[in-house]
Structure 1
Amino acid sequence: MAGHTKSGAEPGAYLYDLVAGKVGEYRGQAGPYAMLRPVGGGREWQADPEKVRPATPAERLSAGVRAANERAGKAYDLSRPPVPVPHCVECGELAAARAAARARFDWSAETDANVLLRRHLRAGHPE
């Protein structure tokens, strides 16, 4: 069966690689190996066909969320809050709203302020 794993997976199926501990999209066989590609794209890796199994719905969802977060992280450094531009009134207002939310331990409002500040920075202060 060219292009199928011993488990019968067809190209495009999501498999969990027990050795690597991650989900990949099955691309085909290369010699004795199953070729898997990271969910969301990236460099393929070789997996032992005896050590892969169909990914569970939860594993597929988790891999998809991870891929989406990685794509978003390339657009913004989400590990740090956005920095307001000095002397910009709107930046100052959003930074003040963020500080007030943080002071009252309202993490949702703090996140909202960060999102709005990032949007404003992208629209009002392009690099």
Structure 2
Amino acid sequence: MTTKSEPLEPGSVLYDPATSQVGEYRDKSGPYAMLRPVGGGQEWQADPASLRPATPRERLSAEVRATNQHTRAAGASAPPTPEDLSRPPRPVPGCPACAELAGRRETARAEYDRSAETDANVLLRQHQRKEHRA
């Protein structure tokens, strides 16, 4: 708990037992301390006498919660859809590098060399990501 001899510093991360929340100290408002959630949000009033410094675990938990909320708000809640790897890539018409890699793949197929066929598919996908996607 804070005492009169320990002034609250703006930005201090404190635990409020009345709300069971961790917040950053902002300022005083009358007899109350103004706290806001770590990472931003709506401020709340707390009794300065009941506040204590947040433990490292409480602080980490609050930071992770804030990061997760920002990530969800940004629309990144689901991982990006991976490209369909169940089918071999198609060469881009008119691209000599794509044609050469597709030729390598066809040669490997004709020779029943599945390892070389897979290698050609990987190289073709890498080439397409680098050269044909913005």
TM over 0.5: yes
Q: Does 1:68 align with 2:74?
A: no
Equivalent-residue separation in structure 2 for 1:46 and 1:13 (angstroms): 15
Q: Aligned pair count?
A: 85
Q: Once the two structures are superposed, what CA deviation does each residue of 1:35-90 show, in whole Å capped at 9, x if it has no partner?
A: 00110011111001122111111111111111001000112363xx5696xxxxx6
C-alpha spacing 1:5/1:13, structure 2 compared with 1 (3 Å): farther
Q: Partner residue of 2:45?
A: 46
Q: Cα distance, 1:12 vs. partner?
A: 1.1
In structure 1, the partner of 2:34 is 35
Distance 1:83 1:11 in 2: 39
Q: Identity over the aligned pairs, expressed in percent?
A: 55
Please give the alpha-carbon distance, in whole angstroms, between the structure 1 residues aligned to 2:57 and 2:79: 32
**5+ long unaligned stretches in structure 1:** 85-89, 95-123
Q: CA deviation at 1:28?
A: 1.2
Q: Are the equivalent residues in 2 in contact too, given 1:23–1:38 (CA < 8 A)?
A: yes
Query: In the alignment, which residue of structure 2 is the partner of 1:12?
Result: 11
Question: What code does the residue aligned with 2:19 have?
Answer: A
1:79-106 deviations in Å (ceiling 9; x for gaps): xx5696xxxxx64448xxxxxxxxxxxx
Distance 1:41 1:73 in 2: 14
- CA gap 1:83/1:63 in 2 versus in 1, 3 angstroms: closer
* Matched AA of 1:47: A
TM-score of the aligned structures, taking structure 1 as reference length: 0.57
Question: Contact (CA 8 Å) 1:9, 1:26: kept in 2 or not?
Answer: yes
Which letter does structure 1 place at the counterpart of 2:27? G
Structure 1 residues 1-127: aligned runs within 5 Å? 6=4, 7-76=6-75, 78=77, 91-93=83-85
Larger Rg: 2
Query: What is the CA distance between 1:11 and its match in structure 2?
Result: 1.1
- The answer to whether the 8 A contact 1:16-1:24 is kept is yes
Q: Which runs of 5+ in 2 are unaligned?
A: 87-132
